[in-house]
Amino acid sequence: MASVNLEKIVKTYPNGFEAVHGVDLEVRDGEFMVFVGPSGCSKSTILRMIAGLESISGGELKIGNTVVNNLRAKERGIAMVFQNYALYPHMKVYDNMAFGLKLAGLPKQEIHERVTQAAKMLEMEQLLDRLPRQLSGGQAQRVAVGRCIVKRPEVFLFDEPLSNLDAKLRASMRVRLTELHRELRDRGQPSTAIYVTHDQVEAMTMGERICVLKDGTIQQVDTPTTLYDRPVNAFVAGFIGSPEMNIRPATVVARDGGLGVEIGDTMLPLPAAYSDALGNRIGQKVQFGIRPENIGTPRSIFAAGSQERASVANCTFRLREHMGNEVYTYFDLGGHEFAARVPTDFAGEIDKAERGQTIPLGFVMDKAHIFDADTGLNLTLSALQPA
């Protein structure tokens, strides 16, 4: 059983490039932590430093109570699943799984027990005699996971393990991996997991907590719902959620009895709760953020019971995408492009709209976020409802 502690972790490459700038993070024992961020945000580098595949330039890394900075990979009690599966192509599945145990000098009997148990758990007993090249992508990935399980590591590391699979398989493997983690934890086996992905859907669905990274610094670490509802800055807000949050330039203005934001020539009133946070910003440029599902037709807003908190504005219709249960609607407001997600049942007026036509759309303003125009910090965090 082990937690993973990163204290002021720095990675500087020999050419002087600093990829990771003093990362502090605690992954709790048994937790499923996801590192997510765009490519080049150093999420894999941090994972590889934890694995012992990259040296740590500065700071302290602890697994359990041991400082592991200078320990070799095999002494850290970790196991890792790679993006390309990294199965040994010349060994059968059984030997792939048993290899680490053989090197560790475990008795044959125990190796056999562990491998068959893991194979059973992953429902791949029939694959044990095959060579990696005879496996499909999903099977290879299961073997790679199995190879980790047999080692009974303190910490599981996953480096974008699903990104080579097709969309359908990825969705089912996502569920399997999450279930597997809960199963191990329920049995009381060590199950701390760190999972790297660039896919925010994987992050949201799998992570118990998510660490959002950008350019080698942590932006926010929290539960998926908190990240979604209370992002600390515009980057997190834009990265988490699909389609992404609309974040557009706006100006804070005073109106009768409160504040509002002006987007181009349109003014949207802000809820009274935002007054404290934004009172000293009247006339200043900010970023206005609102998620697509918080914009809708008057009917959909009414159906959701948000009519009291919503303001209706006239928008210029551009395009619609039918997703089945929802219609993604793209429109202009005050010269900026916005996207909305409207349930199909209430999308009547959108369905009939012509390109360039003016349609009324409602904005649920107590779900809106106001970000500082320069730093991107969320100014309305204190006023937003806790998740």
Residues in touch with another protein (CB under 8 A): 51-53, 72-74, 78-80, 82-90, 99-100, 103-104, 147, 151, 164
In three-state form (DSSP H/G/I as H, E/B as E, the rest C), the secondary structure along the chain is CCCEEEEEEEEECCCCCEEEEEEEEEECCCCEEEEECCCCCCHHHHHHHHHCCCCCCEEEEEECCEECCCCCHHHCCEEEECCCCCCCCCCCHHHHHHHHHHHCCCCHHHHHHHHHHHHHHCCCHHHCCCCHHHCCHHHHHHHHHHHHHCCCCCEEEEECCCCCCCHHHHHHHHHHHHHHHHHHHHCCCCCEEEEEECCHHHHHHHCCEEEEEECCEEEEEECHHHHHHCCCEHHHHHHCCCCCCEEEEEEEEEECCEEEEEECCEEEECCHHHHHHHHHHCCCEEEEEECHHHEECHHHHHHCCCHHHEEEEEEEEEEEEECCCEEEEEEEECCEEEEEEEEHHHCHHHHHCCCCCEEEEEEEHHHCEEEECCCCEECCCCCCCCC
Of 107, 97, 54, 43, residue with least CA distance to 76: 54
- Decide whether 133 or 355 has the Cβ nearer to another protein: 133
- Decide whether 55 or 382 has the Cβ nearer to another protein: 55
Q: How far apart are CA 9 and CA 72, in angstroms?
A: 17
- Decide whether 161 or 241 has the Cβ nearer to another protein: 161
CB of 86 to another protein, least distance (A): 4
- Decide whether 114 or 147 has the Cβ nearer to another protein: 147
Amino acid type, 147: R
CB of 52 to another protein, least distance (A): 7
Q: How far apart are CA 66 and CA 5, in angstroms?
A: 10
- Decide whether 3 or 164 has the Cβ nearer to another protein: 164
- Decide whether 99 or 302 has the Cβ nearer to another protein: 99
CB of 195 to another protein, least distance (A): 16
CB of 187 to another protein, least distance (A): 23
Q: How far apart are CA 206 and CA 144, in angstroms?
A: 18
CB of 205 to another protein, least distance (A): 25
- Decide whether 72 or 355 has the Cβ nearer to another protein: 72
Sign of CA dihedral 224, 230, 233, 238: positive
φ, ψ (nearest 5 deg) of residue 220: -165, 140
- Decide whether 143 or 270 has the Cβ nearer to another protein: 143
CB of 347 to another protein, least distance (A): 38
CB of 143 to another protein, least distance (A): 11
Contacts of residue 332, Cβ cutoff 8 Å, sequence gap at least 6 = 315, 316, 318, 338
CB of 48 to another protein, least distance (A): 8
CB of 198 to another protein, least distance (A): 17
- Decide whether 90 or 352 has the Cβ nearer to another protein: 90
CB of 167 to another protein, least distance (A): 18
- Decide whether 100 or 264 has the Cβ nearer to another protein: 100
